[in-house]
Amino acid sequence: MLVVVSFLVVVYAQRLVEHEIQDHQQEIAEQFSHILTKTTNTLKAEVENLAQNDLIINSLIDVEGRRQYIELLFNSFVFAGIQNSQLSLLDFEGQIITNNQATRPLLNRAQWFDKVLQNGKTYQQLTSQGWIFVAPIRYGQLPEGAIYAHIPLQQVQPLLEINLLKTEIVYTDQQNNILFKSASIPQSNNQFKLAQLEEYKYLLQPFDDLSTIYILQKTEYAYQQVIMFIIVLIVALVGLVIATTYSISLAANFASQTLHQFVNAIEGHDRKNTPSTNLHQGPQLYEMTQLRNQFDGLLEELFATNVSKEQFQSVINSIAESLAVFDLNGRCLLHNNTFDEFKNKVLDNGIPTINIIEKEHRAAVFNLESDQYEFESLYHLPDEYNNYQQTFIHWHRTRYLTSDGQLAGIVLVGIDITLQKSIDRELRIRDRAIETAPSGIIIVDASIVHQPIIYVNPAFEHITGYGKNEVLGKNCKFLQGEKSDKRIIQQISQAIRSEQAISTTIINYTKQGKEFYNQLSITPVFDSHNKLTHFLGIQNDVTNQILAENKLKTAVKQREQALEKAQESARLKSAFLASMSHEIRTPMNGVLGMLNILQSTDLSSRQQHYAKLAQHSANSLLVLINDILDFSKIEAGKIDIETVPTNIQELIENVAQTYSIKAFEKGLALLVDTTELEQIQILTDPTRFRQILTNLVGNAIKFTEQGSVTISANSQLLPTTQQIRLQVNVQDTGIGIDSNKFDSLFSAFTQVDTSTTRKFGGTGLGLAISKQLANLLHGDIAVTSEYNKGSTFSINIDCGPVPVAQNFPLEAKQSLQQSVILIGEENAYKHYLEKQLRPLVRVTHNLHTTVELATAKFEDVEAIVFTDLMTAAISAANLESEIDQYAKQCACLVIHPVNYSNEELKELIAPNIKLLSYPITTLELIHTFTNLSTHHAQNKHALSTTDTQLNIKFNRVLLVEDNEINQLVAQTLLAPYTEQLDTANDGLEALDILVASAQSGMRYDLILMDCQMPHLDGYQTTQRVRQGDCGEHNKNIPIIAMTANAMKGDKEKCLAAGMDDYLVKPINKQLLEQTLKHWYQSANLLEKSTN
C-alpha cells in the first residue's frame, strides 16, 4: 500500500513540475515579447518624432538654406545611444541627402519605398542585417522625404537582453535566421537549426509575422526539481515509515499503559467502589493532536512560502531596472539579475556591493530622515568589443520597512537614462544650432487668426534690429514698408492661405528704418494629424549680395562697352601701325639705298665723308624707327613668337663677332664664354633672342669707355618641368647705374638721366623692348650694377628641349683629340680662348714667349696657336722668321682681335700662317682644326677657311615695284646677281610681262614682288600667277616679297598668297645676298654658272 501511494505521489510530482516548467517558460516568452514590443515602439517613436522636426521638414523645401545646418544637425545624432547606428535624411526619391556616419548605408529601397514614400506609413523590420526604421517626413498631406535609421544586428542584443538563470532565448525570422539569442548559446552561423532543440526542454512561441521565440532550458536542469523532489519524497517516506513504526509502538505502549491503568482503575473501582478519574489521557492525546496539527500547518506554510519566494524572485528578475535591498549596515539583502549584472561590470570581485554608490552620495542615501532620495551617477562600462562607453544611471532610494513598520534598510532602484541623456544632448545641439545659425529663424503660430510670432533666434534680432520681446505676439507685417513689393506680398499671402511653401526676396525694414533685401523662405508645419500648426520662416540679409550683383552687372556692361572701344582702338592702332610701318620704311629704303649707291660712285674724300655721315644718320634714324615700331607692335600684340630648334652657342658667338669691330674701335676687349652651356640645341625664337642680346651688347659697348664687355652663357635642365633654363650675362666695366634708378630702367622712352641722352643718344626704348621680348620668350631680364664700376644684365628664359628627330649634330661638343701648343702673354683674350679650346683639343703646352717655344717638343704637336703676336712692337721681319721656323714642323695659327694695328703684318702674314679673328665661333674652330694638317699648313695660301665663294648670276629677274626711288635702289642692289633685270610698275604690268615671256619662251628665274601697289597689289598678282594666268611654266616661279609691311602676320599673309620668301624694307644687303643664294641653289643653276 505504501509503495502504491509513493508511486502515485511521484507521478503527480512529475506532472506538477512539467506544468511549472511550462508556466515559467511561457512567462519568460511573454516578458521577452513585452520588451521587444516596448523597445520597438520606443525606437519607432524616436524616428517618427525626428521626422516631425520643423528643421528637418524645412530642409526638404529649403534646398539652399539647409546647407548651413543640416549636416551639423545630423552629425550630432546618435540613434538609440549606439555610436555606430546609421541615421540618414532621404529625399522623395529615397536618395540620401545627409548621414550621421562617414560611410553611407546601402539602401534596399524595394523593402520600404512604397509603404513609406507612397503610402506615408512607418516601416520597421528586425532582419539578419539589423533593425531598420524608416519614417516618412510629411509636408502637407504627402510624404516628401524620410528618416532612415539602422541599428547593426550585433548592437540589437544589448537592447533586448534578459538575464535568466539557466534559461536561454532565441528569436528567429520566418527563414530561421537568428535575430536575437542569449549570450550563452554558441553560434556557428546565422541559421538556427531545429536539431539543436534535442538537448533542451523548450517552448515555441510563434508571431503573426512568422517570427518565432524559443525558450530553452537544458533537460537536466528542467527535471532537476523532479529528481530533487523524488529524493526528498523518498527520504520523507522513509522517515514517515520510521515515525509511523515508532508512533505505532508508542501508541501501543501508551494504549497498553492506558488500558493497564484503565484495568487497574477498574480493578481499583472494584476494590474501592469508586471510579478513578486520574487517567491524564485526555490532555496527552490532545497535545499530540495539536502538535500534529501545528506540524501540518507549518508544512503548509513552508510550502506556501517557498512558492511565494520563487514567484517574487521571478517577478523582480523580470524588471529591466536594477533593484537592490540593503540593510542599515550597507549589506545587500536582495537584488535582481539586472542589478547583479550591472554590479559585475562596475565592481571587481571581492569589493562590497555598497561601493556601487559613489562616496559623495552614500551619506545622503543612508540619511533616512527623508522618505526618498534621487541622484545620478556616471559609469564607464565595457561593451562587447571592450570599448568603454558612458552609462548614466538614475538612482531612486526609498526606505525599507518590516511588516510591523520597523525601519530595516533601504530599497535602491536604478534606471539606465543613457538614451534619454543622448536625446537631451541632441535636443540641446539642435537648439544650439538654431540659436547660432547665421540665418534668421522665426516661428509663427498658425492656429491663431492673426498668426503671432512665438519664436525668433538671435540672428533675426541681429538682422532686423528688433529684440525678441518686441516682436513676440506680433504679426510679421511690421517688417514691410513703402518699397516692399506689393506683388511679392500678395504672393506670400496667397502661399500662407493655401498652406504652401514659398521662397522669395523682398525689401524689408529694420527697426531703425533701414532697407534691406530679405531672402525669405516660409514653410508650413503640420502635426501628426496633418493639421497646420505653425509656419517656419528662414531669412537672410542679402543686401550686399544684391548690391554686388547690381554693381557686377553694371561693371560687366561697362566692361563690354570698354572692350568694344578697346577692340576698335586696337583695330585702328593696328591699321595705323601697318600704314606707318609701310609709309616709313618705303622712303627709308630709298634713302639708304641711294646713299649706298652714292658711296660706290667716284666721290672726293670730303664727299665720301659727307656720304658716310648721312648714312650713319640714316642708320640711326632707322634704328629709332624700328625701336618705335617694335615697341608699338608689342603694345598692340602684333609680334609673333616662332619657336624653332636653335644653336644658341653659335647665335651668341655670331652676335659677339658682329660687335667685335665696334668694340675694338673703342679700345674695348670683347670676350665670350659659352663653355658652360650644357645644351647647345634649344627651342626658342632665334630672331627675338638675337634682338635682345644685340640690344644689351650694343648698350654695353655704348656706355663703356674703357675696359671690357664679357658675354657668358650657361644652361641647365629643370627636372620638375623638363624645360631648359638659359642664362646669358652681358657684363661691362662702364658707367654703371645707381640702384635707385633700377625701377625706371625698363620703362619706355626713359634713360637714367638727361645727360645720358645728350652724350650717348638713343630713344630709351631698347631695354623696354628687350624686357617685353624676354617676357614673350617666357623669361625676364635682371640687372645688377654699381655706379662708375659697371653693370651686368642677365637674360633668363625657359626653353624647350629639341626633340631627338629635330636635333642637329652637336658639333660644338665634339672632341678632336689634336695636340696644340698655346703661346702668348697672359690676358683676358688668352684665358677665354684657352677655355674655348680645351673641350675641343688637347692643349699640351701653355707658353708665354717664343723663347719657351724653342725648348718645346713637337713630336705629337699638330698646331701652334699664337694669341698676341700682332702688336706694333714686333717687326714684320722678326715675325716672318719665327713663323717660317715653326711652320715647317706643324700648322701655325694666329687668333687675335680684329683691326690689327700692325698694318705691315697684315700683308705679310697670309702666305705663311692661318689668320683667324677673335671672337671666333666654336664651329669655326672645329672646321679649322678638322681641315688642318701638316701638309696643308705648309702649302695652303688661303687667308681663311671659308668656302669658295659662289658666283650668283641669275639669267633674268623681274622686279615689281611702283616707287621709282625704290626701283633704282633695288636695281643697283640686284645688278651684281643677274644678267637681265626687268621692272614692272604694278601688278597688271607684271602679268603682261610674264604672259609675253611665256609666249616668247624667255623664262624668268625669279620675281621680287612689292605688296602695296596701285591697280593690282602684290597679293592678288601672286595669286593670279599661281592660278596659271601667266602660263604653266610661270605657276611655280620663285616669288620673293620685298615689302615695307613688317607687322605681325604680314609674312604669313605673303606666304598664304603664294609667295615663297619674305624681305623687309629697307633692304639689308647681306640678307638679300643670303636669300638670293638660297633660291639660286634651289633653282639648280649652280652647274650652269660653273660651266
Mean pLDDT of 1022-1039: 91
pLDDT recorded at residue 913: 63
Inform me whether the pLDDT recorded for 277 exceeds 60: no
Grade residue 715 by pLDDT with cuts at 50, 70 and 90.
very high
Q: Is residue 712 within 8 Å of 731, Cβ to Cβ? A: yes
Q: Is residue 1054 within 8 Å of 1011, Cβ to Cβ? A: yes
Mean pLDDT of 263-276: 47
Task: Enter the C-alpha cell of residue 1062.
Answer: 619674305
Top mean-pLDDT range of 280-294, 852-866, 1015-1029:
1015-1029
pLDDT tens readout for residues 84-108: 888 899 988 888 988 888 788 888 8
CA angle 754–755–761, rounded 5-degree value = 85
Inform me whether the pLDDT recorded for 944 exceeds 50: no
Share of the chain above pLDDT 90, in %: 23
Q: Which residue has the cell 670676350?
A: 671
pLDDT tens readout for residues 434-469: 888 888 999 999 988 889 999 999 999 999 999 989
End-to-end Cα spacing for the chain? 161
Mean pLDDT of 488-505: 92
Range name among 74-78, 576-580, 1035-1039 with the lowest pLDDT average? 576-580
Grade residue 193 by pLDDT with cuts at 50, 70 and 90.
low
Q: For residues 222 and 217, what is the distance between their CA atoms, to the nearest angstrom?
A: 6
Grade residue 296 by pLDDT with cuts at 50, 70 and 90.
low
Summary mean pLDDT of the chain = 79
Mean pLDDT of 59-66: 78
Inform me whether the pLDDT recorded for 779 exceeds 90: yes
Mean pLDDT of 1021-1032: 92
pLDDT recorded at residue 287: 47
Inform me whether the pLDDT recorded for 1059 exceeds 90: yes
Grade residue 1060 by pLDDT with cuts at 50, 70 and 90.
very high
* pTM (2 d.p.): 0.40
Measured CA distances, 242 to 248, 255, 284 (Å): 10, 19, 22
Q: For residues 157 and 593, what is the distance between their CA atoms, to the nearest angstrom?
A: 106
CA angle 371–376–377, rounded 5-degree value = 130
Residue-wise DSSP of 557-589: HHHHHHHHHHHHHHHHHHHHHHHHHHHHHHHHH
Domains and CATH numbers, the chain: 1-218 (3.30.450.20), 310-422 (3.30.450.20), 440-547 (3.30.450.20), 639-801 (3.30.565.10), 819-936 (3.40.50.2300), 954-1088 (3.40.50.2300)
pLDDT recorded at residue 198: 62
pLDDT recorded at residue 34: 81
pLDDT recorded at residue 213: 83
pLDDT tens readout for residues 786-827: 888 899 999 999 999 987 545 544 444 456 667 888 888 888
Inform me whether the pLDDT recorded for 43 exceeds 60: yes
10 Å CB burial of residue 463 (0-12, 13-18, 19+) is: buried
Inform me whether the pLDDT recorded for 509 exceeds 50: yes
pLDDT recorded at residue 883: 64
Task: Enter the C-alpha cell of residue 436.
Answer: 547660432
Grade residue 1037 by pLDDT with cuts at 50, 70 and 90.
very high
pLDDT recorded at residue 791: 92
